[in-house]
Structure 1
Amino acid sequence: MRGIPLTRDFANGGVSFWYRQIGLPARRPALPGPRDYDVAIVGGGYTGLWTAYYLKKADPGLRIAILEKEFAGFGASGRNGGWLSAEFAGSRKRHAKARGKQAMIDLQRAMFASVDEVIDVTRAEGIDADVHKGGLIHVATNPAQRRRLRAEVADLRRWGYGEADMRIMERAEQRERVQVAGAIEAAYSPHCARIQPAKLAVGLAAVVAGLGVDIYEDTTVTEIRPRNGGGKATALTTRGDVTAEYVIRATEGFTASLHGQHRQWLPMNSSMIVTDPLPPDVWKHIGWQGSELLEDEAHAYVYAQRTADDRIAIGGRGVPYRFGSRTDRRGVTQSQTVALLWRMLVKLFPAAVDVPVAHAWCGVLGVPRDWCSTVHLDHASGLGWACGYVGSGVTTTNLAGRTLRDLVLRRDTPLTRLPWVGRQVRQWEPEPLRWIGVQLIYALFRAADRHENERGTRTSPYAHLANFIAGR
């Protein structure tokens, strides 16, 4: 990492910067032995916490348990980029195919509303998560990216986005909001807020526990079994079996660790770095006074936020996948990934070249074979799940939690009629095809970015091939 300025106490791995900032939460007790509940939720991230929150609010008498291998918020919920965004994973056309175009428009509008729902809950429950709704800026830095950005904004008009929901920015407005080097076009959406993700996870877990939900940490679930005859569904753990009317799988990128789920969701790795606080004279060059979230239009894209304490946190894929669906080594990030993210940081913000990098970490997210999120509950087997957010999970988990509430309580609501409900996804290919395919996809994306940066005015054929292989 020669040439990268690092702070003296630079940390790489172990925990995210977000937890380094607030400290790790005290561990809750493990499962004390076999137990029986109305609803057992496997996974203590946002999906599990929101599901428990809304179920308990709707029916305080429900006996609910969350079973978590580490601690609530350990995974992507405490390691993500802090985007509370209305963007939804997957192809709009695929979702529309299930229940029609209007259903997909309804889903998009539900995502708009979910951004504000999360903000409202943090306020109502007293969760201080550094929430600031400044919107989202997409930036194009070459002609091919500009062409894609314009086409995307035009296409969104068909899927529930009005002019006020996403628009191409005037150059003067773009420069006034944030100075991104090389930017030739930008689009703005108000439907996004910055959060400190670990604060949200820790605060939500405390609220859920306060409602009477049992959160068992240091409790590894090894297998989930459906009802057997007239019995209950079961979560098998290393500390005893938990039976329940419904067992909800909320394991996202860690799903492959469960028996029989090895090929269900592909665990995709994403990495981040965060700088020291930038001095005022550097912010004068950059602007970014509105603390909007920021993303470029490259295929191997990066995403960034200005934190509440005036740092820049920026992320990207790094090493996207580990053979055999293995997950990250507790957040350790490769030095070459740190270098890559730092180069992207100074490319976008040259004024920050001398600001040291304070921390680096990584996390894992879940990717379905068709890249489309899904939520499901089968009353016959007693099993349900919500997964496959593909990096857009901070808001989607809230929508999933409210949808699972309605499904568990057998309510027929607008949420249960959305097109992602009940969506079935085929499994990923076996190894080594899975590993070869993902490596090829991201090699092609990187080649496409190089091609477009050098001379491309249209999307590179390499990117089209990558998307074809990916099945996106």
Structure 2
Amino acid sequence: MKLFASAAEMRAVPRSAEFRNGAVSFWFRQTGLPERRAALPGAADYDVCVVGGGYTGLWTAYYLKKAQPDLRIAILEREFAGFGASGRNGGWLSAEFAGSRERYASSHGKGAVIALQRAMMRSVDEVITTAEAEGIDADIVKGGMRLVATNPAQQARLLEEVRYLQEWGFWPEDLYLLDPVTGGGPRLQVDGAVAAAHSPHAARIQPAKLAIGLARVVESLGVDIFEDTAVTEIRPAKDGARAAAVTPHGEVGAEHVIRATEGFTASLQGRRRDWLPMSSSMIATEPLGAEMWEHIGWEGREVLGDTAHAYIYAQRTSDDRIAIGGRGAPYRFGSGHDDNGATPPQAIAELWRVLARLFPVAASVPVAHAWSGVLGVPRDWCPTVHLDRETGLGWAGGYVGSGVTTSNLAGRTLCDLVLGRETDLTRLPWVGRRVRGWEPEPLRWVGSQVVHGLYRGADRRESDRVSHTSRLADIAGRIAGR
């Protein structure tokens, strides 16, 4: 990606008269902003204090309260529940799990990694059934996931990915190639597609509706949600004092303090190098007309991704828009992040170009909204869940962009850990995993920029000149430690 988008490139992007960039996501623009809950009134004491009001924190509180209703639980949120990645993502409720299978297997064995993958598949259905049972209407349609390849190099990677994942927990009926002639599923016309694969273990959701509904349910169960309450430090239990979350309004002491801050972890004292805050950007179009949808299809409402290195993710929304995302300006110096959630102009232009390439018939449809969200990336790119009984501190995250489903699995796992249960979930290989921090600045900024540029260069080469995975991508992977 170029550092700056030219004026001509931005003029080429059709934008609606009410186009907005940043502030909140299109999802919250669609639902309307929720009424803010009160801030923490002062120092307090609870059994469990959850820091972060996104999916991980909400699911953790939900399952704890369901399992043990007398627990006193507080959620502390800097903005409002769902403000971060939980309300900004692409709406992929899928069984995809980030991280190296081999790394998890090195400590727990291949069988444990397969069990983790199968648990992810069950988690997709767990979210769907729980939302239905709790009356949460999040526009959920379980149409599955379709991955497409648009050049020979991507096709080779897609075939290898299907083969590889079928060795690690995806059985042939869980992920398979589609017939290039008949398609083998609901019609979805992606221009230039040379191969496609399908998995039934995925659903489209409206992310903000899920976050708003889940917060409402959690609060109705008796969990105290304090918004506009920034946590600056999390202190371990020590010398008889309980673990605590430190805020400008006072400290919240608890038997267990759970860190569920994902991409915002770097804002906590002493946590700047734990997880790299990486941004992902999205655009949403105006609704497409019936003739356009007749051409494209997409009646199954499956979520759509490709096999580029700088990959995209997309969905057909409940009101017939196309929402498409990818990595924009992925990392800011010093682990900073943009509170406004604005998308750089060059990222808007690039996402629109991808949309126009995949769906030429929709190229003239105005873009209504652009936004970005921050996700967390561990140094080894492997998500983790942990609870330290000695310090009283627990955490989950590092989902690397696959957090919609993973956060539910994390919440159920943290529930079992807090309650001292030994279950199939607490034995999964991501529990208790420790990873080293990221390099100090400027090394991590330089490294992230180099990796980002190499992956973009690899995609360009594969589109123009080579029929195999570019060596630039191999170099990028080695630098990133993926």
1:394 aligns with 2:409: no
**Aligned residue for 1:330?**
340
- Work out which of the residue numbers 257, 270, 276 in structure 1 matches 2:267: 257
**Aligned residue for 2:171?**
162
**2: CA distance between counterparts of 1:339 and 1:387?**
30
Q: What is the identity, as a one-letter code, of the residue corresponding to 2:183? A: E
- The one-character-per-residue Cα deviations of 1:167-207 (angstroms, maximum 9, x if unpaired) are 01001216852111110000000000000000000000000
Structure 1's unaligned 5+ residue stretches are: none
- Work out which of the residue numbers 12, 17, 24 in structure 1 matches 2:21: 12
- Report the Cα offset of residue 334 of structure 1: 1.2
**Aligned residue for 2:439?**
429
Q: How does 1:108-187 map to 2 (within 5 A)?
A: 108-171=117-180, 172-173=182-183, 177-187=187-197
Q: How does 1:52-451 map to 2 (within 5 A)?
A: 52-171=61-180, 172-173=182-183, 177-451=187-461
Q: How does 1:23-38 map to 2 (within 5 A)?
A: 23-38=32-47
Is contact 2:178–2:198 with CA below 8 Å preserved after alignment? Answer: yes
**Aligned residue for 2:3?**
none
- Report the Cα offset of residue 231 of structure 1: 2.3
Is contact 1:226–1:233 with CA below 8 Å preserved after alignment? Answer: yes
- Report the Cα offset of residue 329 of structure 1: 3.5
- The one-character-per-residue Cα deviations of 1:416-442 (angstroms, maximum 9, x if unpaired) are 000000000100001100100000001
**1: CA distance between counterparts of 2:166 and 2:334?**
40
**2: CA distance between counterparts of 1:174 and 1:272?**
29
Q: What is the DSSP-based 3-state SS (H/G/I as helix, E as strand, rest coil) of the residue aligned with 1:242?
A: strand
Q: Which runs of 4+ in 1 moved over 6 A?
A: none
- Report the Cα offset of residue 464 of structure 1: 0.2
Is contact 2:112–2:429 with CA below 8 Å preserved after alignment? Answer: yes
Q: What is the identity, as a one-letter code, of the residue corresponding to 1:231? A: A
**2: CA distance between counterparts of 1:400 and 1:98?**
19
Is contact 2:186–2:299 with CA below 8 Å preserved after alignment? Answer: no
**1: CA distance between counterparts of 2:156 and 2:347?**
28
- Report the Cα offset of residue 163 of structure 1: 1.0
**2: CA distance between counterparts of 1:319 and 1:339?**
12
**2: CA distance between counterparts of 1:96 and 1:27?**
44
Is contact 1:255–1:265 with CA below 8 Å preserved after alignment? Answer: yes
Q: What is the identity, as a one-letter code, of the residue corresponding to 1:360? A: A
Is contact 2:243–2:254 with CA below 8 Å preserved after alignment? Answer: yes
Q: What is the identity, as a one-letter code, of the residue corresponding to 2:144? A: G
- Aligned pairs, how many? 472
Q: What is the DSSP-based 3-state SS (H/G/I as helix, E as strand, rest coil) of the residue aligned with 2:12?
A: coil
- Work out which of the residue numbers 51, 54, 72 in structure 2 matches 1:45: 54
**1: CA distance between counterparts of 2:420 and 2:36?**
34
**2: CA distance between counterparts of 1:225 and 1:447?**
44
Is contact 1:174–1:186 with CA below 8 Å preserved after alignment? Answer: no
Structure 1 length-normalised TM: 0.99
- Report the Cα offset of residue 328 of structure 1: 1.8
Structure 2 length-normalised TM: 0.97
**2: CA distance between counterparts of 1:433 and 1:129?**
41
- Report the Cα offset of residue 100 of structure 1: 0.6
Is contact 2:187–2:298 with CA below 8 Å preserved after alignment? Answer: yes
Are the structure 2 counterparts of residues 316 and 453 from structure 1 closer, same or farther at C-alpha, using a change threshold of 3 Å? Answer: same
Q: What is the identity, as a one-letter code, of the residue corresponding to 1:456? A: V
Q: Among all aligned residue pairs of Structure 1 and Structure 2, give the percentage whose two residues are the same amino acid.
A: 67
Q: What is the identity, as a one-letter code, of the residue corresponding to 1:225? A: R
Q: What is the DSSP-based 3-state SS (H/G/I as helix, E as strand, rest coil) of the residue aligned with 1:24?
A: coil
**1: CA distance between counterparts of 2:84 and 2:456?**
27
Is contact 1:85–1:191 with CA below 8 Å preserved after alignment? Answer: yes
Are the structure 2 counterparts of residues 5 and 175 from structure 1 closer, same or farther at C-alpha, using a change threshold of 3 Å? Answer: farther
Q: What is the identity, as a one-letter code, of the residue corresponding to 2:126? A: E
What value does the CA root-mean-square deviation take over the aligned residues? 0.8
Q: What is the identity, as a one-letter code, of the residue corresponding to 2:228? A: D
**2: CA distance between counterparts of 1:230 and 1:468?**
45
**2: CA distance between counterparts of 1:382 and 1:191?**
35
User: Which of 154-163 and 27-36 deviates more?
Assistant: 154-163
